[in-house]
Amino acid sequence: MEFETFELSNGIRVVHKQVNRPVAHCGLLIMAGSRDEKPEEEGLAHFIEHVLFKGTKRRKAFHILSRMEDAGGELNAYTDKENTVIYTSFLQGDYKRAIDLVFDIAFQSTFPAKELQKEKEVIIDEINSYKDSPSDLIFDDFEALLYPNHPLGMNILGTPTQVKSFTREDVLRFMKREYSCNRMVFSSVGNISKAKLENLLEKEIADINTPTTVFDRKEPAGHLPKVITKAASNFQTHAIIGGRGYAANHPKSRTLLLLNNILGGPGMNSRLNLNIREKYGFTYNLESFYNSYSDTGVFGVYAGTDPETMGKTLKLIERELKKLREKPLGSMQLVKAKRQFLGQVAMAQENNASLMLALGRSLLSFDKIDTFEEIINKIENINANDLLEVANEVLDPKCLSKLVFTP
């Protein structure tokens, strides 16, 4: 995977991979997410992501939404706990069009009062729709359990009451505080040379400059594990067992990624799938997950099943966690696990849209990008004792919380 990095004159970092493909992808990644909100701003980062598309000094909402689609491309955005991303896919001859639109949205949006009011209703509908999906909602509620009284525990979408209260002044204040060039990365994968891309970008950012800002992110305090059961209006029972994991830059984070893949990754041969779903047929939705942030992480196992079989399913999950803590992988098992994980990484890099986002996130978070060869070396250096050590740290029963949604 060959890529190039450079910095623009206003401080925005750039990563580019040139590929000989007819479709290109680019995006602006901003290190400002829901964890950067103050308590009274819950949902504001996500609200801004929506209203960025509602008009700029040069374009009305209709022209923004049609600009890439009229040329056969796509425009989108998302907000997570730590980042906001505006990105687009397009025919490779339309790089200038794509760059112009992305930067126009990010730096020239006007936030008309009428459009803001309409979008509030859209987001409130999104919140209500989310509440109708307990298999999604339980993940946010689980993070709220792990990070009480901390921005990481707040819901990305916010609450209807909070969303209704947002004003144009709130939007501008948050952007002035968080949207600075030193906290941005422009990522690109497409058939254009570095020199031509840099020239297009420098022309686009000629009048774009922001004051350098520093982070005001507070590391979460320690927490006590909890077991909580909530009554919900759903047919199935949903549950998560888990706790805090490692931060993204922690030296053991890759070991935890490999452990997660062995336990309940996307492969049909994961331990959870083989030893619970296939053997007993108790559950269709069963997976483990590891979400890493800049200073902490979340690891857990999710299951959705009938109320009658949830108790048995949870016991079987706990049995699998105990095996990982007590029994090291054999040499052949370890070789197969590493090969499967690296194969998944390699195949993910074949998707250029996903690759563009991954390159941008890596540069934004770590100011560096590992080559595939470096990833291979790090995974190959993991041994069975490393996995056992991480399993005993992260999967220690004394550190695990449990959240259950029951009908």
In this predicted structure, what is the pLDDT of residue 247?
97
Strands (E), 19-61: 23-30
Model confidence at 1, pLDDT cuts 50, 70, 90, reads low
pLDDT single digits (tens) 344-370 = 999 999 999 999 999 999 999 999 999
| Collapsed DSSP state (helix, strand, coil) of residue 209 | coil
Following CA atoms 42, 125, 64, 29 in sequence, which dihedral angle do they give, to the nearest 10 degrees? 40
**Structural domains present in the chain:** 4-204 (3.30.830.10), 227-406 (3.30.830.10)
What φ, ψ does residue 228 adopt, rounded to 5°? -130, 135
pLDDT single digits (tens) 159-208 = 999 999 999 999 999 999 999 999 999 999 999 999 999 999 999 998 89
Q: Which two tokens stand for residue 282?
A: 């108790």
Model confidence at 235, pLDDT cuts 50, 70, 90, reads confident
CA 27 to chain centre: 15
Q: How far is CA 59 from CA 101, 105, 160, 167, 336, in A?
A: 9, 9, 29, 21, 53
Q: Which two tokens stand for residue 108?
A: 């020239």
Checking if the pLDDT of 56 tops 90, the result is: yes
The answer to whether the Cα torsion of 187, 191, 194, 200 is positive or negative is negative
Question: Which amino acid, residue 238?
Answer: H
Report strand pairing: 401-406 vs 227-231: parallel
Radius of gyration of the chain (CA): 22
Residue keyed to tokens 């980042």: 83
Which of 308, 336, 317, 322 has its CA nearest to residue 272?
Answer: 317
Which of 8, 133, 9, 156 has its CA nearest to residue 81?
Answer: 156
Q: Which two tokens stand for residue 31?
A: 């290190």
Mean pLDDT for 130-136 is 89
Checking if the pLDDT of 297 tops 90, the result is: yes
Mean pLDDT for 226-244 is 92
In this predicted structure, what is the pLDDT of residue 190?
98
Instruction: Give the chain's mean pLDDT.
Output: 95
Model confidence at 232, pLDDT cuts 50, 70, 90, reads confident
User: In terms of pTM, does the model score above 0.85?
Assistant: yes
Is the Cβ–Cβ distance between 262 and 339 less than 8 Å? Answer: no
Checking if the pLDDT of 216 tops 90, the result is: no
Checking if the pLDDT of 299 tops 80, the result is: yes
Is the Cβ–Cβ distance between 296 and 247 less than 8 Å? Answer: yes
pLDDT single digits (tens) 94-108 = 999 999 999 999 999
Checking if the pLDDT of 243 tops 80, the result is: yes
Report strand pairing: 4-7 vs 84-91: unpaired
Model confidence at 213, pLDDT cuts 50, 70, 90, reads confident
| Collapsed DSSP state (helix, strand, coil) of residue 44 | helix
Which of 338, 335, 330, 332 has its CA nearest to residue 378?
Answer: 338
